[in-house]
Chain A
Amino acid sequence: MMQAKPLLSRVADSVYWMARYIERAENVARFIDVNHNLTLDLPQGYLDQWQPIVDTTGDRAIFLERYGHATQDSVMRFLAFDPENPNSIYSCVLAARENARSVRETISSEMWQQINTLYLLITSESRKSVPSSLPDFCQSVRMACHLFQGITDVTMSHNEAWHFIRLGRKLERADKTTRMLDVKYFILLPTVADVGTPYDDIQWTAVLKSVSGFEMYRKRYGRISPDRIVEFLLLDGEFPRALRYCIGLADQSLHAITGTPPGAFSCATEQRMGLLRSELDFTHVESILAHGLHEFFDALQLKMNTIDEYVRSDFFGQKALAAGAA
């Protein structure tokens, strides 16, 4: 039997980032869409809903510098089309396409065509002086990203490059789900004034909807409760956007790449990923909450950054920055 073709480090790097950027674009579109939907349900001036979603993407400083006050228009422009914002949908899709372009011989033609279709959609939308319907736009970005993912899974051999794609996608998704929860949880903890009002429920429902998790949560837990939502989004083993589920699949892909059996490790990435995976496999949400959710998120962010850095040094031939890797 012929041996599988080895994968160039540069190509692994590009497909990994291609997947991350597509996933990021999809998540930003989700945030915008749900937030927009939420503002329609709340009384005017009820809560400043737009600043938090800028915080979710982690670009508060650039935003304040470029726009100052967060309004629907400014946030939407910033998150959807601003080429100066490296995490806008526009920038993400461009970056994903540049990466895809450099590995066109590795990915399938269908994948390239879909990423290109998405690129044409974004560039034509971003040229319009008046953006067309916001929900429609977010919906088409989301669907285009889903389609890309589906095409990836059914047209590309599930080889080493595909596992780098899945690794990138799952790490990015884990990051976005937790960031979103981090920002919303503290804003939405019930205040005395809100307890018992319908707005409490509406806002938590919006959190779930932004990760397409509302229906699945209902089936699992029924009533809306902040602690159960935290448990669902962090520790569920079946919901595809939950942290634990994502890390589990990322870990599987990592082992498929290295060929190391599950439960063992052959490089720093695998060791760190394994540690994180077992932590999530064997913890209770109660203990996370008791130690403080914020502390949990800070530690998690550090672990995920470390994993990303080790991926670069173990597979892409780049020197580890080492700072966060302690």
Chain B
Amino acid sequence: MQFSSYQTEDFYDEMFEDDGRCRPHVQLVMEVIQSLSDGQLLRYKHSAERLLLQLGITFNVYGDTAGTERIFPFDLIPRVIPAGEWDRIERGLKQRVHALNAFIDDIYHDQKILKDGAIPADVVTSAVSYRKQCHGLNPPWRVWCHITGTDLVRDRDGCYYVLEDNLRVPSGVSYVLENREVLKRIFPRVFEGLPVRPVNDYTSRLLEMLESIAPHPTGSPRVVVLTPGIYNSAYFEHSFLAQQMGVQLVEGRDLVVQSGDVFMRTTKGLERVDVIYRRVDDDFLDPEAFRPDSLLGVPGLMEVYRAGRVALANAPGNGVADDKVIYAYVPEMIRYYEGADAILPNVPTYLCWRDADRKYVLEHLNGLVVKSANESGGYGMLVGPHSTREQQEEFAVKIRDNPRNFIAQPTLALSRVPTIVEDHFEGRHVDLRPYVLCGKEIFVLPGGLTRVAMRKGSLVVNSSQGGGSKDTWVLAESANVPMGGQQQQS
């Protein structure tokens, strides 16, 4: 397959310059792809899809009764990020996660930032995800966001913006690791010639971080992954991470609180648990502390956590900073706690509870993306330019009824990457979700999930809305050295 007829149109393309020349750091990738014989790429694509199906790397779609498991569509053409660009992303993410941890810790203690007026207090106290139950808690190193999956997007100008922080239970990292395995098998030649930074130490880093927050520092702490169960859309990932870390995957019913500790039920009786990497929302952690109607959850878990006898990652209550209205204030947080400007800017955001912003939003619904403050996964949003009049009317009513719950952002022209469509390449819009681990230190995985809106022209990349993924290659510094390897001197 050739790129000769490929059009970048009016978008920032990750592979080609506006004038159609290949970006230098992607040159080798393009050459290898073009050198494949006719049909070879499609055969690779089919074999990759068959492999994913056989491996059962699938996700569940809520509300879909026929065939609830699907493979997450995977496109073979990688997205490549040069070293300099990545360096800035990495510094920006570390700065942001550091500030967010400081903010959450502050909010659940003295609330200095509110007292100093850097952020309006009612923004925080009105957030649905603000948990009074978490006041005064002191997680190790005051870290509340152990695993973060920040969503970045690139606009037409090529600049990266933070779209969402995803502090609660970010998913997708298993696809990053599996996608890389598939591409290494298909393009070994490219990996030999390009210094692509590896991602497969993620699970070791994750385990290390989880063990480091154990409340009983002696001996080897017992870490478990807590999943809502096999019907959860991210179940594959939960079991994958538990498997790769060699720890137990537990459900709420496997855990029990007794005499001040958390235990799991084993064939030989109860065994104490020290660290829980929980992949369930706050609401379903402990019916005694949060939702009494929840059948999931472990009664009494929060009491044990409060007493410092079990660690939870991520820390309950950290979702307060995921609220999309509070998100709008992250640049202020960074200025307040870090004394610096944000390295990675936010997407400009209109807050509908401000009268002027709401007026503007209601007048420009067809050009904006409207999101509800507390939803994720592409649910509860309106993409203005792609919406009908009725949908806009519906949102207008919702916004007037509950302005605190809505924000709006300009429709960004998300950058594109060439993607296999039938038998040729077309540009498809992408975003980027890097993963950040935070224990005593902050680690940014050099890579991430590049999500692709597979439908032509679509800007919605969520897997629940027909999105797919690509492997993301972060290049090491030596990327500028000419390829070809060393030669014998004659």
Contact = CB atoms under 8 A, between A and B. Distances in A.
B267 A315 contact: yes
A113 B266 contact: no
B230 interface: yes
Interface in B202-249: 220, 225, 229-230, 235-236, 239-240, 242-243, 246-249
Given A8-B265, A160-B267, A105 B55 contact: no
A109 interface: yes
Contacts of B276: none
B56 A101 contact: yes
Interface stretch (B250-258, B354-362, B407-415): B250-258
Interface residues of A, number: 28
Interface string B41-63: 00000000000011110000000
B264 interface: yes
A105 B254 contact: no
B249 A105 contact: yes
- Most chain-A Cβ atoms within 10 A of its Cβ — which of B53, B242, B251, B266? B266
B456 interface: no
Nearest to A116: B56
Chain A contact surface mostly: helix
A105 B243 contact: yes
A316 B254 CA distance: 11
A104 B243 contact: yes
A9 interface: yes
A6 B271 contact: yes
A112 interface: yes
A6 B55 contact: no
A107 to B, nearest CB: 9
Chain B contact patch, size range: 20 to 34
B267 A257 contact: yes
B268 interface: yes
A195 to B, nearest CB: 53
Contact of B230 (A98, A113, A120): A98
Interface in A1-39: 2, 5-12
A160 to B, nearest CB: 7
B171 to A, nearest CB: 16
Chain B contact surface mostly: mixed
A112 B58 CA distance: 13
Interface of A: 2, 5-12, 98, 101-106, 109, 112-113, 116-117, 120, 160, 164, 257, 315-317
B265 A112 contact: no
A6 to B, nearest CB: 4
10 contacts: A6-B264, A10-B265, A101-B235, A102-B230, A105-B225, A105-B240, A105-B247, A113-B54, A116-B56, A315-B267
A252 B267 CA distance: 17
Given A7-B266, A104-B243, 18 more contacts: A5-B248, A6-B264, A6-B267, A6-B268, A7-B267, A7-B268, A10-B253, A101-B56, A102-B230, A104-B236, A104-B239, A105-B242, A106-B243, A116-B54, A116-B55, A117-B54, A120-B54, A317-B265
A7 to B, nearest CB: 5
A35 B55 CA distance: 34
A112 B56 contact: yes
Contacts of A9: 254, 265-267
Given A109-B55, A113-B56, A120-B54, A8 B230 contact: no
B178 to A, nearest CB: 11
B248 to A, nearest CB: 6
Nearest to B50: A120
Contacts of B230: 98, 101-102
A109 to B, nearest CB: 7
Nearest to B248: A8
Nearest to B271: A6
A140 to B, nearest CB: 15
Given A2-B220, A120-B53, A105 B248 contact: yes
A36 to B, nearest CB: 29
Contacts of B246: 5
A106 B56 CA distance: 15
